[in-house]
Amino acid sequence: MTAILLFEQLLNGLQFGMMLFLMSAGLTLVFGVMGLINLAHGVLYMVGAFACAIIAGLTGSFWLGLMASLIVAAMAGALIEVGVIRKLYQRDHLDQVLATYALILIFSGATRWLFGAFPLYLDVPEILSTPVNLFGLLDYSSYRLFIIGIGITVALGLYFLIAKTRLGMRIRAGASDREMIAALGVDIRTLYTLVFALGAALAGLAGALLGAVQSVEVGMGDSVLILAFVVIVIGGIGSIKGAFIGALLVGLVDTMGRFLLPYLFALVLPPDTAASVGGALSSVAIYILMAVILIVKPKGLIAANG
Amino acid sequence: MGNLTIEYKLNVSLVLLLLAIPAIALMLDEPFYITLATKVVILALAGVGLNLALGLGGLISFGHAAFFGIGGYIAGILASHSLNAELMFTLAGTEFDGTTNMLVIWPLALLVSALVAVFIGYFSLRTKGVYFIMITLAFAQMIYYFAIAWPAYGGEDGLSIYVRNQFMGLNTLDPIIFYGICFALLMSVLLLVSKLKNSHFGSALQAARQNEQRLAAVGIRPFGIKLTAFVISAMITALAGALFADLNRFVSPDMFSWHTSGEIMIFVILGGVGRLFGPVVGAGLFILFEYYLGGLTEHWALFLGLVLLAVVLFARGGLVGLIAGEVKHD
């Protein structure tokens, strides 16, 4: 194990964290502003990936596909919000969990019906397909660096949107007192649809970006959804800053755990046992992290609404 | 309580229907229906477990797959040691090679799931609302990924149980006998839960759901009540898991997956939250859906989703609620 290898793993963890942030930002906004648990968020990730793969396949341009993922996911999000989600704001969490679980079944089933069970093909764009040399030390995937770049850009953009714009002010107001902002004459229904579509677009973007390195298939959003929930619970539900910190924590702990734990156990255990114990423990590391954080701080690292 | 409500009549008809299923299946010459009904009974049992925590206690556990899987793996691990005559552990000089006796497997499944539930519940019950949903999910995911990554008991491939476990010398491979065992267990647990519901404990639990401050004000600590309910609920679901392992003669990490937690929750909601026979109706409907729609189209999950969505949006008391009306308070 060398310092260079460690550095490479750190970058991988950072990239994973950025992807998780794109996924969690919408989830945490929707919970913070509308008080809704949305299990169907993973579906939007899948929709984005499919849109990107199909448009990129038709036009031959990954970038057009990426645009399409944003637009199609935002439209799907708006559609879901107006058709179903809107009726759930006044319901308890149980109804929300069930109804959005039903949405997963519906969207996954419909996608499988339309596109079949086989994965679609989506390739990394040519310009990002060659590794770049970092500081003369290692060759690193330029596509992964691109994802890190997008993550940082989105984080800054969201910060600007929430902190500096009128829309952001309304979102913050909506998160802290829903009735009051409606009473002040803000069109709360449109605001909710906008917030939902924004979160959906980011999830779609994450799906498209990751679709190029993993496979584009039905059910691809499931495991990411659970990870995004871990992220927002760790960060404190409703807080974008919390989602950012949580995403980086989960990304780094997961990646570094998988890398380091087998080495660490090999110091005290025979190699075979070390590999299996290390492997088993590293795959649950983030859930242990989440449980510990919740036990110490039951509302996550950054409690959004006091 | 004296006059018979619609719900009571519905429950009695359900029991009679379940009793008659082996005869109906034989009459139609469709022995497979017995296996299907066994699946309904076992999944209903898992739902009855969750319903105790969710319906009576208002504890929305999104992690009951953990207990379902623990029950399954206890049955699978004990049976695999016994069938392969492998040493499991040595306790005080006695060697233990696992067992295929259900009367040993069940208590062990109950014991282990209770211990795990005390641990999970102790930490999870400090959180509320959405955090409780998520922390129970996180614990279940921990066990899920652990089961996948741990190679000793099959890892991702799961474990096969070549011969169904033994019960008092009966031929458990006979579908009717195995159905009878599962049916008897479901009925006993339903009886227990209905007694529990009407006991002091049941009242305290429902009070904990409705208003914790008031419960605390009359001198009962809600935490202990909720933890007890969570543990009993987990044990029932684990028992169902052990039976499910025997039904399929196979256990896999899928039993721990969050989809399993979601499905157990669906049984409860489809039938009617907090209704004694709600999970029986829910599981029955789910299996009918899976079997008949699954036979017609491979996209049955899509239609299940539509029905589920309709039930959540428009039929809030579940199916039992639709038939029997709102819960009456007397």
CATH of the domain at B114: 1.10.3470
This model of the complex carries an ipTM of 0.81
Look at residue B11 and tell me if it is in a domain.
yes
| Confidence band, pLDDT 50/70/90 cuts, at residue B130 | confident
State both tokens at B231.
């543990």
Task: List Cβ neighbours of A153 (8 Å cut-off, separation of 6 or more).
Answer: none
CA distance B225 to B237: 19
Residue bearing the bigger pLDDT, A24 or B320? A24
Look at residue B280 and tell me if it is in a domain.
yes
Greatest alpha-carbon span in chain A: 68
CA distance A297 to B123: 12
Look at residue A66 and tell me if it is in a domain.
yes
Specify whether the backbone of B169 is left (phi greater than 0), alpha (psi in -120 to 50) or beta. left
State the residue range of the domain holding A188: 13-222
Look at residue A180 and tell me if it is in a domain.
yes
At A16 the three-state DSSP class reads: helix
Look at residue B1 and tell me if it is in a domain.
no
Q: What is the pLDDT of residues A56-115, one digit of tens each?
A: 888 888 899 899 999 999 999 999 999 888 888 888 888 888 899 899 999 988 988 888
| Contact criterion met (CB < 8 Å) for A98 and B306 | no
- The number of distinct structural domains making up chain A is 1
| Contact criterion met (CB < 8 Å) for B303 and A109 | yes
Collect all residues of chain B within an 8 Å Cβ-Cβ radius of residue A237. Answer: 130-131
Look at residue B122 and tell me if it is in a domain.
yes
Collect all residues of chain B within an 8 Å Cβ-Cβ radius of residue A276. Answer: 149-152
| Contact criterion met (CB < 8 Å) for B141 and A279 | no
Collect all residues of chain A within an 8 Å Cβ-Cβ radius of residue B137. Answer: 226, 229
Give contacts of A 2-61 with B, CB under 8 A.
31, 37
Look at residue B257 and tell me if it is in a domain.
yes
Look at residue B198 and tell me if it is in a domain.
yes
Give the model's pLDDT for residue A278: 79
A284 interface with B at CB cutoff 8 Å: yes
Residue pair B139/A291 in contact (Cβ under 8 Å)? The answer is: yes
- CB-nearest partner of B135 from A84, A280, A294: A294
Give the model's pLDDT for residue A1: 54
CA distance B1 to B273: 21
Look at residue B330 and tell me if it is in a domain.
no
Collect all residues of chain A within an 8 Å Cβ-Cβ radius of residue B149. Answer: 276, 279-280, 283-284
State the residue range of the domain holding B201: 6-324
Q: B307: distance to nearest CA of chain A, Å?
A: 8
Q: What is the full per-residue pLDDT of chain A (306 aa) written as tens digits?
A: 578 888 888 999 999 999 999 999 989 888 888 888 888 999 999 999 999 999 988 888 889 989 999 999 999 999 999 988 888 888 888 888 889 989 999 998 898 888 887 888 777 777 777 777 777 777 788 888 999 999 999 999 988 988 888 888 888 887 777 778 778 887 888 888 999 999 999 999 999 998 888 888 888 888 888 889 889 888 888 888 889 999 999 999 999 988 888 888 888 877 777 777 777 788 788 888 888 888 888 788 886 543
Between A and B, how many CB-CB pairs are < 8 A? 126
| Contact criterion met (CB < 8 Å) for A31 and B130 | yes
- The number of distinct structural domains making up chain B is 1
Q: A190: distance to nearest CA of chain B, Å?
A: 21
DSSP secondary structure code for residue B157 in this structure: G
Half-sphere exposure of A198 (CA within 13 A, CB side): 20
Give the model's pLDDT for residue A223: 81
